[in-house]
Structure 1
Amino acid sequence: MLLLVFYVSWVWHRPRMVGRSGWRVTLPGGPLTLLQIGIGIVDLGFCALAMYMLVPEEPNINFATLAVIFVSATLLGFASHAPGAIGVFDAAMLVALWQFDKEDLLAGLLLFRLLYYIVPFGLALLILGARELHLALRGTPPPPIPHIPSLAPTEVVIPPVESELKAP
């Protein structure tokens, strides 16, 4: 928590930039950082609430306990670097909520995955497809792709192999 307070106070006073070798990223200022933290807390709270609604009713568990377990499982999933925290999040939830029937809890976890990942992905595909179809029917050309200069050297020099250096 102290590190978070230090970071927010560090970016609060003036724009901060990080990077190297000509690449720079401007960090968000203090108010924007606090807004992002708030949005993250609200998002995790609503996700935990959705999970709370999907766990079986028996045995009874209060929301605060489930929220702590949910956030901990989410953090373990982030630390694992597995895409979508698949497997790690689910295993952590199954282990932490040992008092629930495993089949019912697994059904709730699958429903959560469906509602939190699959449905938004499907909606995004539909919206993107509708937009592309609309643009195609209007005859609007796609925007040009900007040229991004390569950081790779333009000429690659391959050193000769030792056998090529010796004359026959």
Structure 2
Amino acid sequence: MIHYQLRCAADHEFDGWFKSSSHFEDQAARGLLECPRCGDRGVSRAMMAPRIGGKSRKRHAEPVDATPAAPPPPVIDQSGAPAPPETAVAGRMPAEMRALLARVRREVEERCDYVGPKFADEARRIHDGSAPARGIYGETTEAEAEALAEDGIEVGRIPWVPLADS
């Protein structure tokens, strides 16, 4: 595998891993590479520092401390109450991730039918053949999603981020 530092026309830099340099060239020529921040397909290799290997020396493994790490202190909000666990653990979503999820949302909205709160019912109808096979999206409860999975009906959950232009 070859690691390249890539850059789009808007000067966003990101990593890419390729089987060979010809695989990178082929994908770039066919417009298959795109910037994870802005979606630009004008991707090229950026300058990278050379990786210089030194003499191979066997290193002795450092002893591992078997003492478990102490849990992090709870995050406290302005009222003095502990923040919900998901806020304390997850923190803010990186801008690149939000941009990718917004692109996924746009694709789903363009290519799939919105079925609202009847998602589980419509997914079952598609699965059993009483409704036409197509992509759908909507809302469902955790219990309904678990029941669909138990019945062998594959569904996926996508974090639904607000679109930048809304």
With the length of structure 1 as denominator, give the TM-score of the two structures. 0.22
Higher percent of residues as strand: 2
Structure possessing the higher relative contact order (Cα contacts under 8 Å, 6 or more residues apart): 2
Query: Which of the pair is proportionally richer in helix?
Result: 1
- Report which of the two structures shows the higher radius of gyration computed on alpha carbons: 1
